[in-house]
Amino acid sequence: MFARLLLGIMAGFLLPVAATAEPLVPLAVLPFTNVTRYQGHLLDRRAAAAIVVEARTPWAPVDPALVQRTLEGLNAPSPLGTAEAQALCRRLPAALALQGAISLAEVEAGSARVRLHVELLEPRSGEVTARAQGEGRAQSREPLPRDQLLEQALQRAARSVMQALVVPRTVGQIAEPRPDKPLRLTLIPQARVEANSVLLLYAPLSAPEGEPEEGPAPAWPLAAVAVQRLAEGGAELRLLGQHQAPAGGEIAVWVGRLP
């Protein structure tokens, strides 16, 4: 959500962002790939559902039922390739996709352990912007069904992953483009980026004077860019994928870094 983004143009120059709140970033959580020997009922979907439960603001997970229906409409293979994940996000739409794998799932003698690996995909460029992993354990002195004990460990692994994953944050505003000059980001106070940081660009919201600006960020960002090099007070950028060049004034939201 953007709140009280005081933006404008005066004498040909963009006004700075006076105050911001983090945007809601719609996230499509895809069914996981199970590479373990444990073949619990719908474990791939249960892992995705556990991530959705643990995703906190500013993440805004897309309804898992909608994701599943859209996947079925695409007749997509499992596991999904980059092209299929991109097509899914276009249809939903979603700003980013989260793909993952269950690399460990074991239950024995009243204990369970699960390990998850995830990565974020920027759908229009196909670039991976972040990776994370997490592990969860569960124990019980009382007899429990194997799948129930594993479910507890799975939820804890999902919580660990989301705590380790990047948290989107507003870092600045796109400066007015100039002919034959690189695209430039103007940073807001205390914001930091580094080379190869990935930014989603959103159109600035406007509200009547004196009223706070509220509401979710657009579900489909205008573009994605990467930081090419740092410059005084900001950074020079390059477009990722087949994105249209921004017009200036867009809000830049950091979502990770290219490998």
CATH number at residue 49: 3.40.50.10610
Tell me, what DSSP letter sits at residue 10?
A: E
90 located within any domain: yes
CA distance 207 to 4: 8
Q: What angle do CA 62, 63, 67 make, to 5 degrees?
A: 80
What mean pLDDT comes out for the span 25-53? Answer: 93
Tokens coding 51: 């991530």
State whether 68 and 140 are in the same domain.
Answer: yes
State whether 42 and 147 are in the same domain.
Answer: yes
Under the banding of pLDDT at 50, 70 and 90, the label for residue 19 is very low
State whether 134 and 247 are in the same domain.
Answer: no
State whether 133 and 246 are in the same domain.
Answer: no
4 located within any domain: no
Under the banding of pLDDT at 50, 70 and 90, the label for residue 49 is very high
What value does the mean pLDDT of the chain take?
85
So what's the pLDDT on residue 22?
Answer: 60
Please tell me the total count of domains within the chain.
Answer: 2
State whether 142 and 84 are in the same domain.
Answer: yes
CA-closest candidate to residue 183, choices 95, 96, 244, 130: 244
State whether 210 and 158 are in the same domain.
Answer: no
What mean pLDDT comes out for the span 128-135? Answer: 97
180 located within any domain: yes
State whether 102 and 123 are in the same domain.
Answer: yes
So what's the pLDDT on residue 205?
Answer: 59
State whether 67 and 153 are in the same domain.
Answer: yes
98 located within any domain: yes
**Last residue within a domain, chosen from 104, 130, 164:** 164
pTM of the complete model: 0.82
State whether 66 and 156 are in the same domain.
Answer: yes
3 located within any domain: no
So what's the pLDDT on residue 90?
Answer: 87
**Last residue within a domain, chosen from 109, 136, 164:** 164
CA distance 103 to 117: 7
State whether 139 and 157 are in the same domain.
Answer: yes
CA atoms lying within 13 Å on the CB side of residue 20:
26
Residue type, 118: V
1 located within any domain: no
What mean pLDDT comes out for the span 75-94? Answer: 85
State whether 103 and 160 are in the same domain.
Answer: yes
2 located within any domain: no
Q: Which domain holds residue 225?
A: 9-23+168-257
State whether 137 and 251 are in the same domain.
Answer: no
Residue type, 141: R
For residues 174 and 235, is the Cβ–Cβ distance under 8 A? no
**Last residue within a domain, chosen from 164, 185, 206:** 164
201-240 pLDDT, tens per residue?
988 755 444 444 455 544 568 899 999 999 988 999 999 9
139 located within any domain: yes
